[in-house]
């Protein structure tokens, strides 16, 4: 049985007379025990999708089920067996770490002791501060506490809405390590993130843009879908270079990527020569051209153009 | 039940943690109860009197002395002409002019009648009305005095006269505070009930914590009761505190039983907390809920009979007061405090409040939805 099934979900927000399509008929399925990533920029519709799946929001049309339960008919069952960590920190800031955890455990009719194994690894990191109020914690600690609170009732499916947004690089890495350990315990994890580099850490990802799914695949599979050679170019005047490469009719796309520009040509042959020609014509200095392997972000950029 | 216990624990913990809530809860009633009953007094004293005496006789002097010795008036201006007296009113020095025309004494003695003119500055309507009435009363009394002087004999009045004696029941000394303090106490409970609970839920919305509550299996009624009970208890604390102030500071001891007040207050708080909860299900920010509860409680207060008697309101406003829980509580407070009414006497009011409680709380539970869209 699949842990999450989403079938043609449509969600519209009406503000006065204008209508925003947050989700335009989305379908995908998540296997049990998978880490499934929803990757997309702000405004892609990630949070709306999460709120529908956690029974906080009613979709306009379409069906969805979590752990075999329908999000509309059996919402009470779902509330018993999912953990949800909203994008915004939403624990009681005026309660201490321990009080928050105890409160959320008791809401689900359990106790910290009963499920301590599950949160132990995360909780020990914040335990020294357990009498500190949640509002006074650092961002990374808040994140860990929120994860503990979402896990304390031993959910079978965990929804994490942008858990790493605004968290430093070290904490992000730690956070993903924690997710992998939870996966081993058999918990299905649906996680959303705006960071493309985190896609590779998921078992499968869905690339999302403006309420539609561009692609659903394993990170490798998505990269494999990128079938054209990709070139990187670097020179002294990067901005002029970008414009001139873009102006060339044989170029399909060119976009800045860190210190390099990534370039894709319409036809797949002799890209290097064409780039050299452009660089010579524009009299650029210190030109470096290399062939590179595409990553998720390249795929996302390519899929967005389609 | 277990869940409810944890919710209550959490709520009380948060209330105790927030130093401002407890401070407001106990300092606000203290200040209001200590200041308002002394300041909000209907009796008008210190009306500034201007006299234009063009007669300058024994009789006119006597009249002016009598007016001033009444205690309501202060002689602020003594002008030779009406024009000058008018000037004093215009410059806000006086509120009222008494003009005694020339030959006042002569006319009174010779022709048995003499005119007087009273001009009142009516910018402050209450002051003008009462000031005019007071001075009229004094002049009439003065008139009676003169008659008595002249008509030494015969012993019995030839004209039949009706003499009126007053006896003020339930508040024999017309002590203004006895009447006002219970009302102010009600106002306080209302403010606490309607805005504290409402703000509390809206705060959960603002902080986003309500999301976490909503995805949990907790039931609607558990959540709402979890919010209602702590404030219900707090309001009782404030009521007790207020009754102590009333007793210690103003010496107001209810003729009826304290228990009657508490029983009625428990129903009243259910209704008013329900109103606050209903408000919170609509409001998205604390600002919204504050403003609406402020607006509504102000109207409730003005239409409650606390400041102006309900009987003197226009008919449509009297109908409105029947839909005002505060009006019932103020009525009951005064009945119990001054008249000693028992539970049997306030049956109707209890039933009415029970109706309000069911209406507000029912609507709040219906309107509180754990999911949107």
Q: Averaged over B34-43, what is the pLDDT?
A: 73
Which helix (H) or strand (E) segment holds residue B214: the answer is helix B209-214
First-last CA distance in chain A: 33
Residue A302's pLDDT band (cuts 50, 70, 90): confident
Q: Is residue B179 within 8 Å of B293, Cβ to Cβ?
A: no
* CA distance to A264, A292, B80, per residue, from A250 (Å): 9, 19, 108
Check pLDDT > 50 for residue B187: yes
Q: For position B266, what pLDDT does the model report? A: 92
Instruction: Look at A86 and B211 and tell me if their CB atoms are within 8 Å.
Output: yes
User: Count H helices, E strands: chain A?
Assistant: 10, 14
- Calculate the dihedral angle through the C-alpha atoms of B242, B247, B252, B255, rounding to the nearest 10 degrees: 90
CATH 3.30.450.20 fits B47-150, yes or no: no
Query: Is the Cβ of B370 closer than 8 Å to some Cβ of chain A?
Result: yes
Provide ipTM, 2 decimals.
Answer: 0.76
Q: For position A196, what pLDDT does the model report? A: 83
Min CA distance, A287 vs chain B (Å)? 51
Q: Averaged over B150-160, what is the pLDDT?
A: 62
Residues of chain A contacting B209 with CB distance shorter than 8 Å:
90-92
Residue B157's pLDDT band (cuts 50, 70, 90): low
pLDDT digits (tens, 9 = 90+) for B252-263: 888 888 999 999
Instruction: Look at A57 and B13 and tell me if their CB atoms are within 8 Å.
Output: no
Instruction: Look at B217 and A80 and tell me if their CB atoms are within 8 Å.
Output: yes
Residue A157's pLDDT band (cuts 50, 70, 90): very high
Instruction: Report chain A's mean pLDDT, rounded to a whole number.
Output: 86
Residue of A nearest to B9 (CA): A103
Min CA distance, B373 vs chain A (Å)? 5
Min CA distance, A60 vs chain B (Å)? 8
Q: Is residue A155 within 8 Å of A182, Cβ to Cβ?
A: no
Higher pLDDT, A133 or B306: A133
Q: What percent of chain A has pLDDT over 70?
A: 100
Give the CA angle between residues A139, A143, A148 to the nearest 5°: 150
Residue of A nearest to B203 (CA): A92
Instruction: Look at B216 and A108 and tell me if their CB atoms are within 8 Å.
Output: yes
| Burial of B153 (C-beta count, 10 Å sphere; 0-12/13-18/19+) | exposed
pLDDT digits (tens, 9 = 90+) for A197-229: 888 889 999 988 888 888 888 888 888 888 788
Residue B171's pLDDT band (cuts 50, 70, 90): low
Quick one: which of B189, B277, B183, B196 has its CA closest to B22? B196
Check pLDDT > 90 for residue B356: yes
Query: Is the Cβ of A58 closer than 8 Å to some Cβ of chain B?
Result: yes
Check pLDDT > 60 for residue B122: yes
Quick one: which of A93, A122, A120, A92 has its CA closest to A107? A92
Residue B350's pLDDT band (cuts 50, 70, 90): very high
Give the CA angle between residues B121, B124, B128 to the nearest 5°: 55
Compute chain A's Rg from CA coordinates: 23
Q: Is residue B273 within 8 Å of B233, Cβ to Cβ?
A: no
Residue B172's pLDDT band (cuts 50, 70, 90): low
Nearest to B14 among A58, A92, A107 (CB): A92
At which residue do the structure tokens 């709120």 appear? Answer: A51
Residue B43's pLDDT band (cuts 50, 70, 90): low
Q: Is residue A37 within 8 Å of A206, Cβ to Cβ?
A: yes
Instruction: Look at A104 and B207 and tell me if their CB atoms are within 8 Å.
Output: no
Higher pLDDT, B192 or B97: B97
Q: Is residue A214 within 8 Å of A304, Cβ to Cβ?
A: yes
Nearest to A76 among B14, B217, B373 (CB): B217
pLDDT digits (tens, 9 = 90+) for A242-252: 888 888 888 88
Give the CA angle between residues B49, B51, B55 to the nearest 5°: 160
Sheet containing A230-234: order of strands: A251-257, A260-265, A230-234, A288-292
* CA distance to A28, A52, A54, A111, B294, per residue, from A86 (Å): 21, 12, 10, 22, 33
Q: For position B373, what pLDDT does the model report? A: 45
Alpha helices in chain A (DSSP H): 46-53, 75-81, 97-107, 116-126, 139-151, 169-184, 219-224, 238-247, 271-281, 296-305
User: How many of the other CB atoms lie within 10 Å of CB of A207?
Assistant: 23
Q: Averaged over B183-192, what is the pLDDT?
A: 84
* CA distance to B104, B115, B157, per residue, from B111 (Å): 10, 11, 21
Token digits for A115? 């499920």
Q: What percent of chain B has pLDDT over 70?
A: 92
Query: Which are the contacts of A280, defined by CB distance < 8 A and separation ≥ 6?
Result: none
Q: For position B41, what pLDDT does the model report? A: 65
Higher pLDDT, B25 or A77: A77
Instruction: Look at B373 and A57 and tell me if their CB atoms are within 8 Å.
Output: yes
Instruction: Look at B217 and A106 and tell me if their CB atoms are within 8 Å.
Output: no
Which 8-state DSSP code applies to residue A133?
Answer: B
Instruction: Look at A91 and B209 and tell me if their CB atoms are within 8 Å.
Output: yes
Residue B87's pLDDT band (cuts 50, 70, 90): confident
Residues of chain B contacting A149 with CB distance shorter than 8 Å:
212
Residues of chain B contacting A75 with CB distance shorter than 8 Å:
371
Domains and CATH numbers, chain A: 4-222 (3.40.50.300), 226-305 (3.30.70.100)
Q: How far is B207 from A142, CA to CA, in rounded Å?
A: 14
Q: What single string gives the DSSP state of each residue in A49-99?
A: HHHHHTTSB--SEEEEEETTEETTTTHHHHHHHEEEE-SS--S-TTSBHHH
Check pLDDT > 50 for residue B215: yes
Quick one: which of A254, A256, A259, A253 has its CA closest to A286? A259
Q: Which residues pair with A230 in a beta bridge?
A: A292
Q: What is the pTM of this model?
A: 0.75
Mutation target among B20, B21, B205, B212 for the A interface, most CBs of A within 10 A = B212
Greatest alpha-carbon pair distance for chain B in Å reads 96
Q: Averaged over B110-129, what is the pLDDT?
A: 83
Residue A306's pLDDT band (cuts 50, 70, 90): low
Which helix (H) or strand (E) segment holds residue A256: the answer is strand A251-257
Q: Is residue A100 within 8 Å of A92, Cβ to Cβ?
A: yes
Quick one: which of A274, A236, A230 has its CA closest to A255? A230
Quick one: which of B113, B116, B111, B85 has its CA closest to B100? B116
Residue B161's pLDDT band (cuts 50, 70, 90): low
Residue of A nearest to B17 (CA): A94
Check pLDDT > 80 for residue B371: no
Q: Which residues of B117-149 are buried (b: 16+ CB within 10 A; e: fewer)?
A: eebbbeeeeebbebbbebbeebbeebeeeeeee
Residues of chain A contacting B14 with CB distance shorter than 8 Å:
92, 94-95
Token digits for A8? 């043609």
Q: For position A35, what pLDDT does the model report? A: 92
HSE-up (13 A, CA, CB side) for residue B109: 8
Residues of chain A contacting B1 with CB distance shorter than 8 Å:
none
Higher pLDDT, B318 or B40: B318
Instruction: Report chain B's mean pLDDT, rounded to a whole number.
Output: 84
Check pLDDT > 90 for residue A189: yes
Residue B159's pLDDT band (cuts 50, 70, 90): low
Check pLDDT > 90 for residue A109: no
A105 φ, ψ (degrees, to nearest 5):
-65, -45
Min CA distance, B211 vs chain A (Å)? 7
């Amino acid at each position: 049985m699949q842990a999450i099934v989403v079938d043609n979900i449509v969600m519209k927000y009406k503000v006065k007379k204008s209508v925003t399509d947050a989700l335009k008929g989305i379908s995908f399925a998540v296997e049990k025990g998978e880490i499934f990533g929803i990757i997309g920029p702000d405004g892609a519709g990630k949070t709306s999708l999460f709120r529908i799946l956690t029974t906080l929001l009613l979709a306009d049309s379409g069906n969805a089920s979590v752990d075999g339960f329908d999000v509309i008919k059996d919402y009470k069952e779902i509330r018993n067996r999912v953990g949800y960590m909203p994008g915004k920190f939403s624990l009681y800031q005026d309660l201490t770490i321990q009080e928050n955890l105890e409160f959320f455990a008791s809401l689900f009719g359990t106790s910290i002791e009963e499920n301590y194994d599950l949160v132990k690894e995360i909780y020990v990191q914040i335990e020294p501060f357990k009498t500190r109020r949640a509002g006074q914690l650092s961002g990374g600690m808040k994140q860990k506490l929120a994860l503990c609170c979402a896990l304390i009732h031993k959910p079978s499916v965990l929804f994490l809405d942008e858990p790493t947004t605004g968290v430093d690089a070290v904490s992000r890495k730690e956070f993903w390590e924690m997710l992998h350990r939870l996966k081993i315990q058999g918990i299905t994890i649906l996680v959303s993130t705006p960071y493309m580099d985190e896609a590779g850490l998921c078992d499968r990802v869905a690339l999302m843009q403006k309420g539609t799914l561009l692609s659903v695949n394993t990170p490798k599979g998505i990269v494999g879908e990128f079938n054209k050679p990709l070139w990187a170019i670097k020179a002294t005047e990067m901005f002029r270079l970008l414009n001139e490469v873009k102006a060339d009719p044989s170029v399909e796309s060119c976009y800045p990527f860190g210190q390099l520009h990534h370039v894709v040509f319409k036809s797949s042959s002799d890209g290097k020569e064409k780039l050299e020609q452009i660089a010579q014509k524009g009299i650029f200095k210190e030109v470096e051209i290399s062939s590179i392997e595409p990553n998720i972000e390249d795929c996302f950029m390519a899929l967005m153009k389609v | 039940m277990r869940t409810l216990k944890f919710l209550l624990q959490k709520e009380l913990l948060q209330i105790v943690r927030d130093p401002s809530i407890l401070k407001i809860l106990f300092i606000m009633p203290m200040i209001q109860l200590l200041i308002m009953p002394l300041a909000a007094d209907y009796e008008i004293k210190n009306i500034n009197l201007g006299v234009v005496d063009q007669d300058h006789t024994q009789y006119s002097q006597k009249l002016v002395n009598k007016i001033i010795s009444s205690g309501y008036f202060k002689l602020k201006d003594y002008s030779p002409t009406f024009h000058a007296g008018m000037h004093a009113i215009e410059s806000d020095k006086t509120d009222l002019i008494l003009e005694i025309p020339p030959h006042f004494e002569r006319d009174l003695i010779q022709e048995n009648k003499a005119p007087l003119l009273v001009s009142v500055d009516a910018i402050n309507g209450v002051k003008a009305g009462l000031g005019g009435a007071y001075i009229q009363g004094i002049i009439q009394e003065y008139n009676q005095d003169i008659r008595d002087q002249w008509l030494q004999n015969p012993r019995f009045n030839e004209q039949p006269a009706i003499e009126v004696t007053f006896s003020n029941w339930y508040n024999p000394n017309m002590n203004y505070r006895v009447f006002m303090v219970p009302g102010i106490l009600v106002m306080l409970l209302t403010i606490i009930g309607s805005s504290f609970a409402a703000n509390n839920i809206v705060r959960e919305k603002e902080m986003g914590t309500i999301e976490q509550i909503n995805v949990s299996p907790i039931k609607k009624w558990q959540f709402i009761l979890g919010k209602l009970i702590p404030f219900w208890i707090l309001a009782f604390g404030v009521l007790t505190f207020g009754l102590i102030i009333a007793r210690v500071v103003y010496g107001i001891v209810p003729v009826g039983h304290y228990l009657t007040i508490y029983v009625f207050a428990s129903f009243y708080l259910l209704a008013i907390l329900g109103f606050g909860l209903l408000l919170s299900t609509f409001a998205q920010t604390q600002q919204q809920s504050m403003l609406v509860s402020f607006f509504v409680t102000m109207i409730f207060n003005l239409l409650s009979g606390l400041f102006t008697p309900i009987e003197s309101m226009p008919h449509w406003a009297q109908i409105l007061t029947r839909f005002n829980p505060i009006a019932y509580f103020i009525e009951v407070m005064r009945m119990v405090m001054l008249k000693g009414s028992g539970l049997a006497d306030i049956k109707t009011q209890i039933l009415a409040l029970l109706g309000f409680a069911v209406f507000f709380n029912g609507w709040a539970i219906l309107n509180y939805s754990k999911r949107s869209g």
